Amino acid sequence: MSWRDAYQSKRVTANEAVSHIKSGDRIVLAHAAAEPMILVDAMAANADAYRDVEFVNLVCLTEAPYCAPEYQKNFRLNSLFVGAPARKAVAEGRADFTPVFFHEVPALLQTRLQPDATFLQLSPPNAHGYCSFGVSVDYTKTAAQKCGGINIAQINKHMPCTYGDSFIHVSELDYIVEHDETLVELQPPVLGDVEKAIGRNVASLIQDGDCLQLGIGSIPDAVLAGLTDKKDLGIYTEMFSDGVVDLVEAGVINNKHKNIHNGKLVATFLMGTQKLYDFVDHNPMVEMLSVDYVNDPRIAAQNDNLVAINACVQVDLLGQVVSDSIGLRQISGVGGQVDFVRAANMSKGGRAIMAMPSTTKGISKIVPFIAEGAAVTTNRFDVNYVVTEHGIAALKGRTLRERAAALIKIAHPDFREALAIEYEKRFHAKFKESEWVKG
Ligand code: COA
């Protein structure tokens, strides 16, 4: 049978497609802007037919009915990265969180979390019968091609066709649901004075020719906005957004100094606006690759001068970084933060930067002790720089006393005195401004 005939024979409605799911099945769901909502909505519409179906995914950008209270008996989310819609469900015990480095997710899906079904959203097939994973190759490609289980795909003409290792043949799909809809968009954050100051401080640590990894949140966008006067930057990152498009178009990013994937923008998933999705469509400059490759620290570190820029929620006076919990509350996951922090430490000339506003809602984010119940995301041995709107604390190679002093110096002025008292208790030494480490 030709692939065209096979394609036609696999076409079904969303309701027919999800009728192949049984109670107790595990569904691996493509995530972020690639989440196939037509299939998720069909599951919700037929919820009474299911008990204890487990959904596994990373970033949710949508309403996530699979963790809504009304479907508690039908569905349970096992989140590998707790995005905003999943936070309440995890906090209320209606969903689970599995801590895992992003680069290890494909291995997890081939072992402990093998899917009975994978839900995909793909571009229409090309002339040879290959559909593109588009904006989300990450763990989705492994789930569909190496884990067994059935593959149910939404085919959407709005899913960009991306290059790299981003294709699956129609023969590998079991059921096809044609449904065109524009992708979910993530709007760029509005940058205030604090974010702009953080962006300028981080930009001062970036040199022409560096290769950048950018994390999730408003800080990476602020950093990109501060890089317009740099030259010859490269991108080797887990994900990128609209800010990278602006810098490519301005000629700032050209990837010409990268040791691997020279000349290419490398990522494993993408989230942004339609501008980003149009930019990556059929763009040979963009290489979308599996996360077990992109985020493997041993591979990422092959780029010299790899600068990992990530955000966090709390840093203690030792330099321990909390990025995925606020006390007992799970608000995120490790994602690729530690993958790239490790890679930056292994890269020749590399730097690992953690950036955050010095306060949130009137609370200092630099604290004597991390909040009770919180978990360290990036350990103190791996952090090179912590950046706030008040400056840069260079921690690598510094004593505990020097680290604490450098961190107090970049805390919000309202909290420095209280932190200095904690310094004196911990180090049995008078805290003198003259002892503060410079730069
Ligand atoms: N105490 C109490 N609340 C805090 C806090 C603290 N120390 N730090 C942050 N918060 C609150 C904020 O006020 C905000 O609350 P709101 O939702 O009510 O507005 C919320 O937590 C989110 O914080 P914010 O700083 O706005 O988040 P962000 O969107 O900039 O993302 C991270 C920051 C750290 C959550 C995000 O970068 C992340 O998930 N990192 C871990 C994974 C990662 O780095 N991956 C990198 C590769 S993709």
Full DSSP string of 44-58: HHTGGG-SSEEEEES
Cβ of residue 365 lying under 6 Å from some atom of ligand 1: yes
Q: What is the pLDDT of residue 208?
A: 98
Catalytic residue status for 417: no
Q: Please give the number of the atom of ligand 1 that sits closest to the Cα of 310.
A: 44
The helix (H) or strand (E) run that includes residue 329 is strand 329-330
* Greatest CA separation for the chain: 81
Mean pLDDT, rounded, of the chain: 96
Question: Does any ligand 1 atom lie closer than 6 A to the CB of residue 83?
Answer: no
pLDDT tens figures, 246-286: 999 999 999 999 999 999 999 999 999 999 999 999 999 99
* Cα dihedral across residues 230, 233, 239, 244: positive or negative: positive
In testing the pocket of ligand 1, which one of 212, 313, 322 has its CB within 8 Å of the most ligand atoms? 313
Q: Is the pLDDT of residue 349 over 50?
A: yes
How far are the Cα atoms of 55, 183, 413 from residue 31, in angstroms, in the given order? 11, 12, 40
The finding on whether 106 has its CB within 6 A of some atom of ligand 1 is: no
Question: For residue 217, is pLDDT > 90?
Answer: no
Strand order in the sheet with 366-367: 321-322, 314-316, 366-367
Q: Quick: pLDDT tens for 49-99.
A: 999 999 999 999 888 999 999 999 999 999 999 988 999 999 999 999 999
The distance of Cα 436 from the centroid of its chain, to the nearest Å, equals 35
pLDDT band at 439 (very low <50, low <70, confident <90, very high): very low
Ligand 1 atom 17 nearest Cα: 84
With tokens 């049995």, the residue in question is 428
- How far, in Å, is the centroid of ligand 1 from the Cα of 243? 19
pLDDT of the residue at 438: 47
* 433 pLDDT tier (thresholds 50, 70, 90): low
pLDDT band of residue 435 (cuts 50, 70, 90) is low
- State the pairing for strand pair 329-330/325-326: antiparallel
**Which residue among 360, 365, 376 has the greatest number of ligand 1 atoms within 8 angstroms of its CB, and so is best to mutate?**
360
Q: What is the pLDDT of residue 436?
A: 52
Dump pLDDT digits (tens) for 129-163: 999 999 999 999 999 999 999 999 999 999 999 99
Return the H-helix or E-strand segment holding 18: helix 14-18
Kindly give the distance from the C-alpha atom of residue 365 to the centroid of ligand 1, in angstroms, as a whole number.
11
Q: Note the pLDDT of residue 216.
A: 78
Q: Tokens at residue 151, please?
A: 């593959």
Phi–psi pair at 10, nearest 5 degrees? -95, -5
Amino acid in position 269: F
Q: Are the C-beta atoms of 259 and 304 separated by less than 8 Å?
A: yes
CA nearest to 279, candidates 325, 246, 306: 246
SS3 260: coil
171: which DSSP letter?
A: G
Residue 179: Cβ-neighbour burial (10 angstroms; 0-12, 13-18, 19+):
middle
Which one from 35, 54, 195, 238 is the annotated catalytic residue?
238
The rounded distance, in Å, linking the Cα atoms of 323 and 227 is 24
Neighbouring residues of 231: CB distance < 8 A, sequence distance ≥ 6? 208, 209, 252
Average pLDDT over every residue of 330-341: 97
Q: What is the pLDDT of residue 432?
A: 76
Confidence of residue 431 (pLDDT cuts 50, 70, 90): confident
Which atom, in ligand 1's list, is nearest to the CA of 218?
30
Judge whether residue 332 has pLDDT over 60. Answer: yes
- Residue 353: what residue type? I
Q: Which CA distances in Å does 179 have to 37, 160, 185, 435?
A: 10, 14, 17, 64
CA of 416 to the centre of ligand 1 (A): 22
Q: How far is CA 340 from CA 187, 269, 289, 382, in A?
A: 24, 15, 16, 10
What percentage of the chain exceeds 90 in pLDDT?
94
Tell me the average pLDDT across 321-331: 97
Contact 239 CB / ligand 1 (< 6 Å) = yes
Q: What is the mean pLDDT of residues 26-41?
A: 98
Measured in Å, residue 373 CA sits from the centre of ligand 1 at 16
pLDDT surpasses 60 at 194: yes
CA 7 to chain centre: 33
**C-beta atoms surrounding 276 within 10 Å:** 24
Percent of all residues in the chain with a pLDDT value above 70, rounded to a whole number: 98
- Residue 261 to residue 258: CA distance in whole angstroms: 7
